[in-house]
Structure 1
Amino acid sequence: MPIRQAWFDVGVSDQPADRAAAEAAIARSYQRLGRARPHFHWVESPRQALPLLAGRPGHAVLRRWISHRPPAGEPPFVSDVAAGLSRLRGALDAAADHADLSALPRNTTKKDKEKRPELATLEPEAALDIGYPLREVLRHGVREALTTSLAAALAWPVRRELGVPDQVPVGWYGQQDAPWIAYYDTLRRLGLAVYRPADEAVFDDWVLLARSTGWWWPDETVCVLSDRPARVVTEKGRVRAVTFRDGWSPPLM
């Protein structure tokens, strides 16, 4: 899939961050949440960011704040960002209502479905030919494929090297947020979803962040951002090694 390949290339880009574009997108996100433009602090790798993130909430804390019974007190800013992202993705899913996404070949029977090979073993065209709905094919061929080749092979191992996963300060992956962004971008490009203008504006800022920066960690007044890697080694569509601009090269296996 050409669109998937284009987004994989975004996820492994070793070009310097477009700092102006990233800062502008984040400033708009803060504005939507009723906050002033933050101070931006750039670093050369996620590891270099850690000392600047001391005291910020990890994922375990975030889960408590977005649960049905959040703690008392003022929620951390990242919970607002996470809630906004959740609302956005719900809106984009709701807009993906084109009939072709769920259509099956006219003569497909329940028995036919039970005999189908696993979707993971098929090329997209073959999956459609034997009766998989287009929505499933795109979800697997774009979002799940990029999750395997970018998130599981690069972002998650790097986060693991930063500390205990639930305790690592909450942030977003920038270019390695490509898996979910690519899926909704594919729906839009193929004319299978028409997003509301307000949702599209928010989505376009996430697209811009993926195309312009590495990881980023927002809080009320300071947003820390990491530049993109200096070198990413890939082989057959999988990431094998990464080196950041400060020389940090965490193991990925």
Structure 2
Amino acid sequence: MGLTTKPVDHTTTEEAIASIYARHRRRRPEFVWVTSPRAAMPFLDGLPTHEDLRRPQFPWPLASDIAAGLSQLRSDLEADYTEPPADRPAPKRKKGDPWPVLPPEQALAAGYPFREVLLQGVRNDLFRRLSSVYLPVRAALGPVPVGWYGHQDAYWMAFADVLRRLGLTPLRRQHEFETWAALTRAGGWWWPGEHRCVLVERPVTLRTDPLFVEYGDGWAVH
């Protein structure tokens, strides 16, 4: 899903984002669609950067509210995780040391905690794959405001979904989860402003080895 070039579902994407705006007490925004991240740049003036969000301010910009709300949602989705019974003792390691990275089959065979297997094999692996695409694209733009990556944010969604499907976490905040899941399945990059949201169509070509990403207006990163 995160590497798809399937066209964006405009209706589903707009409804999901409107729901996120409503949760943070904002009205439905004007939606501006562009064909590439480069084409979005003229519409992003005045939106906050990550540096802006680190400075105390009131009222907080919408991007700050969304980031804080999403962070809490992700924490809640993983709260009260239940580790399945182990069929073998976990290997010893020094307290505080990270688990060595292993393929899922080897990690299971070695007795890793199941949550660690899922972290390495689902969330972290997807993050590496997807960030290897969106980070070079973002770097090619230069400094950009705070935004989200739609289908390329699938790494955390997939991890939370696996935990829920396996019954390892309780079903918390179902509506919010479904809203972000719908946005991940349907959308691409987006930048939220107080009254206007700028959205990007997905690329028409995406190859990873070597990286080549091309959008409908011809703008490409490779």
TM-score, normalised to structure 1, is: 0.81
Indicate the RMSD between aligned Cα atoms, in angstroms: 1.7
Q: Which residue of 2 aligns with 1:49?
A: 40
Letter in 2 for 1:213: G
Match of 1:245 in 2: 216
- What SS does structure 1 have at the residue aligned with 2:185? helix
- Flag as ranges the 4+ runs of structure 1 deviating above 2 A: 103-110
1:30 paired to 2:6 = no
Distance 1:189 1:109, change over 3 A: closer
Q: Among 14, 31, 45, which residue is 2:5 paired with? A: 14
- 1:169 match: 145
Residue 230 of structure 1: aligned partner: 204
**Residue 93 (str. 1) matches residue 78 (str. 2):** yes
Aligned residue runs from structure 1 range 1-253, under 5 A:
10-64=1-55, 70-71=56-57, 73-95=58-80, 97-100=81-84, 103-108=85-90, 110=92, 113=93, 119-120=100-101, 122-151=102-131, 153-164=132-143, 168-196=144-172, 199-235=173-209, 240-251=211-222
For these two proteins, the number of residue pairs brought into alignment is 218
Name the SS for the 1:36 alignment partner: coil
- 1:119 deviation in Å? 3.7
Moved more, 183-192 or 218-227: 183-192
Superposition TM-score, scaled by structure 2 size = 0.92
2: CA distance, partners of 1:109 / 1:246? 52
Structure 2: distance between partners of 1:93 and 1:85: 13
Measure the CA separation in 1 of the matches of 2:216 and 2:170.
39
Question: Identity over aligned residues, as a percent?
Answer: 48
**1:138 aligns to what SS in structure 2?**
helix
Instruction: Classify the secondary structure of the residue corresponding to 1:210.
Output: helix
Partner secondary structure for residue 191 of structure 2 = strand
Deviation per residue, 1:30-57 (Å, 9 max, x gap)? 1111111111000011111010001111
Determine the structure 2 residue equivalent to 1:3: none
- Cα gap change, 1:107 to 1:17, in 2 (>3 Å): closer
SS in structure 1 opposite 2:105? helix
Shift of 1:105: 4.1
Q: Is the 8 A contact 2:24 2:62 kept in 1?
A: no
Please report how far the alpha carbon of residue 187 of structure 1 lies from its aligned counterpart in structure 2 after TM superposition.
1.0
Taking the aligned partners of 2:184 and 2:216, their CA distance within structure 1 comes to 18
Looking at structure 1, the residues matched to 111 and 65 of structure 2 have their Cα atoms a distance apart, in angstroms, of 40
Q: Which has the higher helix share?
A: 1
For 1:211 and 1:108, how far apart are their aligned partners in 2?
Answer: 36
- Cα 1:19–1:109 change in 2 (3 A) is closer
